[in-house]
Amino acid sequence: MPEPREAGSEELVLAFLAEAGDEYVSGEAISDKLGLSRAAVWKHVESLRGHGYRIDAVPARGYRLREIPDRLTPLELLPLLSTHDLGQVLHCHAELPSTNDLAKQLAEDGAAHGEVVLADRQTAGRGRRGRTWASPAGKNLYFSAVLRPESLPPQRAPELTLVASVALCHAVRQAGVDAGIKWPNDILAGGRKVCGILTEMAADPDHVQWVVLGVGVNLNAGPEDFPDELRSQATSLAMERRQPVPRALFAAAALGLLEEWLDRFDREGFAGIRDEWRVLSETLGREVRVALDGREVVGRAEDIDETGALLVRTERTLERVLSGDVEHLRPR
């Protein structure tokens, strides 16, 4: 099993080049800034090239990063991360049954807040309500973050999924795809699902031990990557914007946004998230059918309450829905 990784000097050189964008940076500037010899900088550049990075070197101008390989390893991710906790310890794997399962095991073994498990492929990716999550290799993003919310009572933990949906919806929008949230936490693009979130936790009666926030985003999947029965309901960012998505860039942006919104939740509670969730929602104001265990609620989705529950106005009453599968009945 690969060791979790934190940034070393090769990652720092890469971060420096990445930060400069299209600009050249001199070897001298890099060595001064990072306290490395010029020879060490050159060695790191050579090693990065060996890992598939395209780096231009021009005498008197310096180095310029031209292309990042489409891989999700600490080498690609760590230099792009701007987070203080989330993903600073990364457990990257080529293949796992499910990133949530490993994250849960690591959390049980004492993993710290913010550790992230990521896999290029999942062989038993799990969705909500016992469904499977299609997880082909080399195309999408599958990760699980271990959270240890210090003062969140266990009954309020479901609010974290709504926080995550706001963050992920923004990540998809930043990648140029118009997206919205289907209650509670599906991200839709063009009415089809592009991202799903699976939250699991362990708690005592009055204390959350850990929460594992599992996120799957269809980035570069094509229609052929979805099982037949899902093909009409699922999409990917690449299918929507007709251009591939650099996975490491998207992953770093998503982790950054996730941390931003989690920090806000920490400071302001769900009140600080609710209005944004409402703005991004594709469910509110729509006629919906909600499948609850053993019954169905049909009506107009009016709002979410201060705990994130969906309020549905039926012919007879206002139903407060805590969990369930929502179907939007009519297009907007």
Distance CA 161, CA 228 (A): 28
Tokens of 236: 């990917």
In the bound state with ligand BTN, the residue whose beta carbon lies nearer, of 48 and 310, is 310
Contacts of 121 (CB under 8 A, 6+ apart): 94, 95, 96, 135, 136, 137, 138, 142
Note whether 72 binds ligand BTN by CB under 6 A: no
Closest residue (Cβ) to ligand BTN? Answer: 196
Candidate segments 32-40, 193-201, 230-238, 283-291, binder of ligand BTN by CB under 6 A: 193-201
Candidate segments 81-89, 190-198, 200-208, 220-228, binder of ligand BTN by CB under 6 A: 190-198
Note whether 196 binds ligand BTN by CB under 6 A: yes
Distance CA 42, CA 233 (A): 49
Q: Quick one: which of 127, 136, 154, 269 contacts ligand BTN (CB under 6 A)? A: 127
Note whether 149 binds ligand BTN by CB under 6 A: no
Give the position of tokens 């299609």.
134
Note whether 121 binds ligand BTN by CB under 6 A: no
Note whether 197 binds ligand BTN by CB under 6 A: yes
Any bridge partners for residue 296, and if so which? 291
Any bridge partners for residue 201, and if so which? 211
Note whether 99 binds ligand BTN by CB under 6 A: yes
Residue type, 150: E
Note whether 158 binds ligand BTN by CB under 6 A: no
Note whether 144 binds ligand BTN by CB under 6 A: yes
Any bridge partners for residue 192, and if so which? 189
For 220, phi and psi rounded to 5 degrees? -115, 15
Site residues (vs ligand BTN, CB under 6 A): 98-100, 122, 125-128, 131, 133, 142-144, 186, 196-198, 214-216
